[in-house]
Amino acid sequence: MRKLIIVLLLAILQPMLANAGDGTDVVSEKRRRVVVLDPGHGGVRPGKPAGKVLEKTLNLDVALEVRRQLAEKMPELEVHLTRYSDSMYDANRDVDNRLRAEYANRLHADLTVGIHANAHENTSVCGGEVWILSLNDKVLNYNKQKANRFADEGDYIDIENIDRSSMGFMLALARQLDNEPRNRNFARALCNNFKAIGLRDRGIFDSVVWTLLYYLEGPGALLEMGYMSNPAELKYISSEKGKREIAGAISDAIVYFIRSLDTAEEYAASDVQGDVPTATEGASVAERRDATCVDASGEGYTIQLISSKTEVDVRDSQFKAYRGRVMLVMGSGSWRYKYCYGSYSSQQEAKADLAEVRKSFKDAYVVRYKAGKLAK
Comparing CB distances to Zn ion, the nearer of 153 and 311 is: 153
Binding of residue 231 to Zn ion (CB under 5 A): no
Nearer to Zn ion, 47 or 248 (CB): 47
Binding residues for Zn ion restricted to 146-185, rule: CB under 5 A: 152
| Closer residue to Zn ion, CB minimum distance, 157 or 255 | 157
Burial (0-12, 13-18, 19+ Cβ within 10 Å), 299:
middle
Shortest distance, CB of residue 336 to Zn ion, whole angstroms?
30
Show contacts with Zn ion in window 86-145 (CB under 5 A). 116
- Residue closer to Zn ion, measured from CB, 153 or 356: 153
Closest residue to bound Zn ion by CB: 116
CA separation for the pair 260, 256 (Å, rounded): 6
- Min separation Cβ 22 and Zn ion, Å: 42
- Give the C-alpha separation, 161 to 163, whole Å: 6
CB of 150 to Zn ion, least distance (A): 11
Number of chain positions touching Zn ion (CB under 5 A): 4
Site for Zn ion in 34-73 (CB under 5 A): 40, 47
Instruction: Between 46 and 300, name the residue whose CB sits nearer to Zn ion.
Output: 46
Least separation in angstroms between CB 152 and Zn ion: 4
Q: Which of 46/181 has CB closer to Zn ion?
A: 46
**Minimum Å distance from CB 208 to Zn ion?**
17
Site for Zn ion, residues 288 to 317, rule: CB under 5 A: none
Backbone angles phi, psi at 289, to 5 degrees: -65, -30
Min. distance of Cβ 229 from Zn ion in angstroms? 12
Cα–Cα distance, 283 to 295 (Å, whole number): 23
Query: To the nearest whole angstrom, how small is the minimum distance from the Cβ of residue 60 to Zn ion?
Result: 12
The residue among 118 and 292 lying less far from Zn ion, judged by its C-beta, is: 118
Which residue ranges make up the site for Zn ion (CB under 5 A)? 40, 47, 116, 152
